[in-house]
Structure 1
Amino acid sequence: MAVVAAVLAVGLWTLTSCQAFVLHGAPGPLTAQLGASVLLPCAADSPLPLEELEVEWRRADSGALLHLFQEGEERPESQNEAYRGRAHFVTEGFATGNYSLLLTDVNLEDVGMYMCKVYTEMDSSTVTAEIMHIERLTVAGGAVVSSYVGDEAILNCSVDSHIHPDQLEVNWRKKGQQQITVLSVKHGQIDPNSTQKDYRDRVDLFDAEITKGNFSMRLKNIRPGDQGEYICEIHSHHLSVETTTELRGLANL
């Protein structure tokens, strides 16, 4: 009897251990770009039977449901409104035990902790993923500006970013067959050698506004040849944005 009991115990342990699994998540906090996508990792050490698998992703703070996999299929109807259409399983990875979630169109409210919970009939496990930083670099300005020959015009370009303005590189260029560099800014200062000769002593920025992310350019003593489109380009490492302002309707005073 003791031998039989031992055999049964070993068999039960083997069955249970086959159903047990370990989840692996992100090795550390994640950084995402505003408006881009970020992958929230969640993977088992071995594939799990899909017919008995349930996977749910939730916000750890509010409990809001990002996405649910249940009874062999995704349940998009169960998603919280804030994540509907933005949270997607990497479904091709389910067969290999990959239950990661792709969060698209990232916004500032996505900063926080997330939980991946995986259930089978015999076991369950949880891992977390934290979005700690949202990188952002957006620019506003582009418009049509009218002025008079001999007068001045302000071409707007304002930046919103987690990056300090001193760390941004800004280039004002005039569009044409060959783009002309009108003005460049590095480390919060205008590069005096960057300005094309036709614009020297006619362009400047509002120095007191640079630390606020305002790189609007003032063009003085306007000439007929100044008419056209001007691009404000903002660069920082792997991020870049731009806006275009059109100067037109030049007439003599």
Structure 2
Amino acid sequence: MSNLSSATPLGPLSVGNVVSAGVRIYRSHLKQYLTLSLTAYLWILVPVYGWAKTAAIGGLISRLAYTELINQPESLKDARQFTDSRKWRFLVASILLSLIFIGLYMGMAIAVGILFAFSAIVPPLGILLGIAGSIVALFVLIRVYSRLFIFEVPIAIEEMMDATTSLSRSWELTKGSVGRVQWVVVIAFLITLLVQVPVRIINTALSAALPSGSSSMSAGGFIAALLIVAIAILSAALVMPFWQVIKAVIYYDLRARREGLGLQLRDR
């Protein structure tokens, strides 16, 4: 793969190169991205406004990564100014995405429940229909998730973009590339296990130090509880920027494939 600091933007990437580019960008900006991510998790504690700020920081990380890919690196101040001005768009887009999946999940659950209900009338057929329906529902959910995976990146990059059009933009860019997006997500998920598995083991060990069946907690148990929370937040803060960088690389790759290599930071 070409070096990310080359004079010209990278061309369309393979699945492996999408992930490796994401890892490289994340690793070279680890301190900056981790600081932003920790800040985002602090903002979560503030209802509504803080949630919008958290969503905007996620978009900020994706924007910074994208500028690296197109060799138009942007200062943190300028990138933050652009994404922070759109924090409500990020929040509304996130809410719309949640509503889409809640509606899909409820509809699928009802449909699968009806299919399983046939088991009371025709047991073998009802069970088979229920299993088949569950598989189809899972496939639909995964496919829709893949089509909307980069929903917030257009808001962070493109000028004329609001909450609803960003979802449409993600749907448009991922058309015909669902399989590639899914493979990238699977490989990226396996990489995150390098952080999540050790954290789960450590938290399990610390949980054993917590008292059970008692209204009071020893000093050791209190420290263990604090460590569990701190480790959980730190691990989440480590993983979140990685996913935002991966989204930026996928967005870059899809635009390179569908719209050519004349990728500008802002369409003015």
Question: Could you say which TM-score interval applies, normalised by the shorter chain?
Answer: under 0.3
User: Larger helix proportion, structure 1 or 2?
Assistant: 2
Superposition TM-score, scaled by structure 1 size: 0.17
Superposition TM-score, scaled by structure 2 size: 0.16
Structure with the bigger RCO (C-alpha within 8 Å, sep 6+) is 2
